[in-house]
């Protein structure tokens, strides 16, 4: 809509795209006011995949007619970021652009669109022309707000000739707003949603953009529009009434997962589509990662000379090896004994870990799968939420030494059973049952196992069944955190006493002591040496155990402060088990973001953790910590709220939400969240010290009262100095704050090494040269005293 010129911004010495609005649009004051409001909102979006709007302006030019009177013409314009590149349409239809690269560009576009949707902005006219691909590889979304401006009936021309169409006579359309000409439907035929095509303007929201995005995905994969007809009327009929065609009918080499993503985007009912474009971006990123793992993404191209029904000799996806997806839901405990709940959950997790070792199989994360525990939800809905093709579910019944496990494999799209089996065994055979289930699943999904992944020949972790039961219970308790940590340590301690060669139990014990230390329950110098000893013992017993390397990495980082060794161990753990959340989370947050100051790298890794396990409250909370540490307060609040929503009983999530509000300056909400956290934790010192800081700005008397409570508590029990110090600073007791920081350094408080550099609560302390000197003694990687001012918030 309107002409676009390449112009020079003489003041800032940059090239800009100058869009001139048609005269009949510019002359309508009401429409221009609406457009300016939308354009201002779009201009506020700061995202690498959205073309930035620099200015909305008006220019007056003088033109002379035949009379001596000089006439002034008003010209309305928009100055936008100039993207040096090509449109997605040109890439799809006029160049030999590989499908993998197109998917990468569309993933970026989805990320940009997610940013806009989060700000309440709907594009309304997504199409390949509105996605530019720059020469340096970035996708840029264009023309936010312009579709809304066009709704009053501006006649299109050129390649956009279908942007505005008469309402279809196929069926009555819903009444349009008064500001829209009767019989006009907004959008572009071939990309508009069914609700747009039917004039249901009240139903048009961000999900309409998701439908349009699905149309573009379809075109990228096939070089055809999904609802293409001989005429506008026929296209609309297909859009409204006919099912979405299969991409395999046009491109037999396209990945099956892409068909699933497109099918969900193009659901006729908005409720059946993805509810967030962010989900689509995550799906595309995961799809590209899997295809890159299985083979070269760039082996399929869609050149102008190719046509539909592309065939391959083998019938397999030439983008790489076939990738299957599965979720393992928590096995139901039918024993009538609540103590067996840990055992049933543990068996489930062991099967998840076994399946995750199979090449060509993507397994949904533990936390996401366990979010369905106790919920009798339709398995087809579960499959859609977890983005998997198959679901394994089962039951466990234990009676004395006898064990009955039933398992069934379900097709997530249809809900039909693919396989089931019942295993009646003695309890000592539990390991072989797990292996049999995993091997059977691989066979049923036609996944070949190499000799390196022969599940049947894997040695059991222990021969002592009671030690195994204690280990599973300890792991379950450790997931609960808080007051369950000492109970978990007791279980692990008893397990290694029964079987001193049980490496997994030693690693669990190390994690237990580490968590006890950094959670502020016991002094670091008391528990961290035990964590180190247990981690080293686990490594001696099994040098290929990811859990052992991760436990050693964390203890080394938090207590020994050997940064190079800690990073090597974290990376080794992730190499051994790429889906191990604890290692990925601790490395991304504790080491990269907080200790090493490698902000973006750490944040990117934590985003991937959430992408792999999106229904994990813990993963969202860890990402929230990184968000607000880096000043991304809105995102921090969003992820903390998501963490609370997914795990409402988690103290860590509630405390994280408290801090998210506090650091964003929303103190009333922070105080409310803090009270909830205090009730959940027995007034844990983390929340008490945070409450001092929350009240300090607006209610000094209340801040002092809470501070006195912390002081009194510290006289009779351990209060973590790294958390106590910023509370002292908040009430103006800087000498006490510095003394506490020195104590945190000297006593090897496990949190101090990771918080000193970036923690927002230390902002006031960082202005004191004494604190700068204390932090310098940590010898953090890549840090010197001159950096401290840059770390202040």
Higher local confidence (pLDDT), 338 or 168:
338
Same structural domain, 128 and 69 = no
User: Which of 282, 299, 316 marks a domain boundary?
Assistant: 299
Does the residue 526 lie in any domain? Answer: no
Per-residue confidence band for 446, with pLDDT thresholds at 50, 70 and 90: low
Is 239 part of any domain? yes
Domain boundary among 39, 57, 81: 81
How confident is the model over 317-326, as a mean pLDDT?
53
Catalytic residues: 125
Contacts of 589 (CB under 8 A, 6+ apart): 602, 606, 622, 625, 626
Nearest to 786 by CA among 769, 765, 761: 769
% the chain with pLDDT above 90: 42
pLDDT of residue 158 exceeding 60? no
pLDDT, mean of residues 315-334: 66
Residue 362: inside a domain, yes or no? yes
Do 155 and 134 fall into the same domain? yes
Q: Which two tokens stand for residue 225?
A: 């529009």
Average confidence (pLDDT) over 178-189 = 52
Please give the angle made by the CA atoms of 317, 320 and 324, to the nearest 5 degrees. Answer: 75
- Looking at the fold, whether 59 and 142 belong to one and the same domain comes out as no
Instruction: Identify which of 78, 79, 233 has the alpha carbon closest to the alpha carbon of residue 149.
Output: 78
Which run of H or of E encompasses 87?
Answer: strand 85-87
Q: Looking at the structure, do residues 105 and 133 belong to the same domain, yes or no?
A: yes
The residue-averaged pLDDT of 221-229 equals: 91
Please state the rounded mean pLDDT for residues 617-629. Answer: 95
- Which domain-ending residue is among 621, 652, 677? 677
At 141, is the secondary structure helix, strand, or coil? strand
Cα 76 to chain centroid, rounded:
40
| Number of domains forming the structure of the chain | 4
Question: 273 and 173: one domain?
Answer: yes
The number of residues in the chain equals 793
CATH of the domain at 37: 3.30.200.20
Segments forming the whole domain that contains residue 89: 85-299
Rounded-to-integer distance, Cα 193 and Cα 185, Å: 11
In a domain, 586, yes or no: no
pLDDT at 155 exceeding the cut of 50: no
**Does residue 169 surpass a pLDDT of 80?**
no
Q: If you average pLDDT over residues 489-516, what whole number do you get?
A: 96
User: Which residues lie below 8 Å from residue 171, measured CB to CB, with a gap of 6+?
Assistant: 198, 240
Q: What pLDDT shows up at residue 176?
A: 29
Instruction: Specify the DSSP class assigned to residue 310.
Output: B
- Give the integer Cα–Cα distance in Å for 174 and 476: 54
Residue 312 has pLDDT above 50, yes or no: no
pLDDT of residue 1: 53
Same domain, 333 and 290: no
643-664 residue pLDDT tens: 999 888 888 999 999 999 999 9
User: Which whole number is the average pLDDT over 396-406?
Assistant: 87
pLDDT of residue 706: 95
134 with 258, same domain? yes
CATH number for 342: 3.40.50.10070
Q: What percent of the chain has pLDDT over 70?
A: 84
Instruction: Tell whether the model's pLDDT for residue 565 goes beyond 60.
Output: yes
Q: Is residue 122 part of a domain?
A: yes
Domain-located, residue 645: yes
Residues 427 and 359 in one domain: yes
Q: Are residues 69 and 101 in the same domain?
A: no
Does pLDDT of 447 surpass 80? no
Q: Which of 159-173, 493-507, 726-740 has the lowest mean pLDDT?
A: 159-173
Q: Where are the alpha helices (DSSP H) in 403-464?
A: 430-444
Q: What spatial distance separates the first Cα and last Cα of the chain, rounded to whole Å?
A: 44
pLDDT at 319: 32
- List, for residues 10-62, the tens digit of each pLDDT value: 777 788 888 777 776 667 777 777 667 667 766 777 788 888 888 877 776 55
Question: Has residue 730 been placed in a domain?
Answer: no
Helix (H) or strand (E) holding 233: helix 232-241
pLDDT confidence band for 626 (50 / 70 / 90): very high
Residue 677 CA to residue 7 CA, distance in Å, equals: 56
Model confidence pTM above 0.75 = no
Higher pLDDT, 215 or 452: 215
CATH of the domain at 634: 1.25.40.10
Query: Are 139 and 66 part of one and the same domain?
Result: no
Listed in sequence order, the residues at least 6 apart from 282 whose beta carbon sits closer than 8 Å to its beta carbon are: 611, 614
CB distance 367 to 623 below 8 Å: no
pLDDT for residue 451 is more than 50: no
Q: State the Cα–Cα distance between residues 172 and 149, nearest whole angstrom.
A: 24
Give the model's confidence band at 83: pLDDT under 50 very low, under 70 low, under 90 confident, else very high: confident
Average pLDDT over the chain, rounded to whole?
A: 82
Whether 559 is covered by a domain: the verdict is: no
Q: Both 276 and 376 in a single domain?
A: no
Residue 285 and residue 328 share a domain: no
Yes or no: say if 197 and 187 are a contact pair by the CB < 8 Å rule: yes
């Amino acid at each position: 809509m309107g002409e676009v010129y390449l112009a020079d911004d003489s003041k800032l010495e940059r090239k800009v795209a100058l869009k001139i609005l048609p005269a009949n649009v510019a002359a309508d004051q009401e429409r221009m006011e609406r457009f300016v409001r939308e354009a201002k909102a779009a201009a506020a979006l700061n995202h690498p995949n959205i073309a930035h709007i620099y200015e909305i302006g008006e220019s007056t030019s003088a033109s002379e007619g035949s009379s001596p009177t000089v006439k002034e013409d008003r010209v309305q314009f928009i100055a936008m970021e100039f993207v040096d590149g090509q449109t997605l349409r040109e890439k799809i239809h006029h160049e030999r652009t590989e499908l993998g690269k197109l998917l990468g560009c569309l993933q970026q576009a989805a990320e940009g669109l997610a940013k806009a949707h989060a700000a309440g902005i709907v594009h309304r006219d997504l199409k390949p022309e509105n996605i530019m691909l720059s020469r340096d590889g970035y996708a840029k979304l264009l023309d936010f707000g312009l579709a809304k401006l066009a709704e009053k009936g501006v006649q299109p021309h050129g390649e956009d000739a279908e942007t505005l169409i008469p309402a279809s006579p196929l069926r009555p359309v819903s009444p349009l707003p008064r500001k829209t000409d009767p019989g006009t439907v907004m959008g572009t035929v071939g990309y508009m949603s069914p609700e747009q095509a039917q004039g249901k303007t009240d139903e048009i929201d961000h999900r309409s953009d998701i439908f349009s995005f699905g149309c573009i995905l379809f075109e990228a994969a096939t070089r055809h529009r999904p609802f293409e007809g001989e005429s506008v009327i026929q296209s609309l009929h297909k859009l409204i009434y006919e099912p979405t065609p299969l991409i395999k009918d046009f491109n037999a080499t396209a990945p099956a997962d892409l068909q699933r993503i497109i099918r969900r985007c193009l659901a006729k009912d908005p409720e059946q589509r993805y509810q967030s474009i962010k989900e689509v971006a995550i799906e595309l990123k995961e799809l590209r990662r899997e295809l890159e793992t299985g083979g070269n993404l760039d082996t399929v191209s869609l050149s102008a000379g190719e046509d539909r029904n592309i065939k391959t000799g083998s019938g397999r996806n030439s983008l790489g090896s076939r990738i299957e997806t599965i979720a393992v839901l928590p096995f139901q405990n039918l024993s009538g004994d609540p103590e067996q709940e840990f055992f049933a959950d543990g068996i489930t997790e062991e099967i998840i870990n076994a399946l995750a070792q199979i090449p060509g199989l993507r397994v949904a994360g533990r936390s996401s799968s366990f979010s369905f525990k106790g919920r009798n939800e339709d398995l087809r809905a579960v499959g859609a939420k977890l983005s998997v093709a198959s679901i394994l579910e089962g039951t466990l019944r234990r009676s004395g030494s006898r064990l009955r496990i039933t398992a069934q494999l379900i097709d997530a799209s249809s809900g039909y059973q693919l396989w089931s089996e019942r295993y009646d065994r003695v309890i000592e055979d539990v390991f072989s049952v797990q292996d049999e289930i995993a091997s059977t699943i691989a066979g049923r999904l036609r996944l070949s196992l190499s000799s390196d992944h022969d599940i049947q020949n894997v040695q059991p972790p222990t021969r002592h069944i009671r030690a195994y039961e204690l280990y599973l219970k300890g792991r379950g308790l450790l997931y609960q955190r808080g007051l369950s940590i000492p109970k978990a340590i007791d279980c692990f301690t008893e397990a290694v006493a029964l079987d001193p060669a049980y490496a997994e139990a030693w690693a669990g014990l190390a994690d237990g002591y580490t968590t006890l230390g950094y959670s502020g329950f016991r002094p670091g110098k008391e528990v961290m040496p035990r964590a180190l000893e247990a981690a080293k013992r686990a490594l001696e017993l099994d040098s290929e155990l990811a859990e052992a390397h991760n436990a050693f990495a964390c203890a080394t980082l938090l207590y020994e402060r050997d940064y190079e060794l800690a990073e090597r161990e974290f990376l080794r753990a992730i190499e051994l088990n790429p889906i191990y959340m604890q290692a990925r989370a601790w490395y991304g947050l504790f080491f990269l973001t907080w200790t090493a100051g490698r902000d973006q790298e750490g944040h990117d890794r934590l985003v991937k953790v959430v992408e792999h396990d999106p229904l994990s409250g813990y993963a969202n909370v860890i990402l929230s910590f990184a968000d607000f540490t880096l000043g991304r307060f809105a995102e921090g609040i969003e992820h903390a709220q998501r963490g609370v929503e997914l795990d409402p009983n988690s103290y860590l999530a509630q405390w994280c939400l408290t801090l998210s509000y506090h650091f964003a300056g929303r103190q009333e909400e922070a105080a409310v969240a803090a009270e909830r956290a205090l009730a959940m934790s027995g007034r844990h010192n983390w929340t008490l010290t945070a409450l001092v800081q929350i009240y300090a700005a607006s209610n000094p008397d209340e801040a002092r009262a809470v501070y006195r409570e912390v002081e009194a508590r510290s006289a009779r029990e351990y209060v973590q100095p790294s958390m106590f110090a910023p509370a002292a600073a908040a009430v103006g007791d800087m000498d006490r704050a510095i003394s506490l920081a020195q104590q945190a350094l000297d006593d090897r408080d496990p949190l101090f090494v990771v918080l000193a550099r970036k923690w927002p609560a230390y902002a006031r302390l960082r202005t004191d040269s004494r604190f700068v000197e204390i932090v310098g003694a940590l010898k953090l990687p890549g840090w010197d005293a001159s950096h401290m001012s840059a770390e202040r918030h």
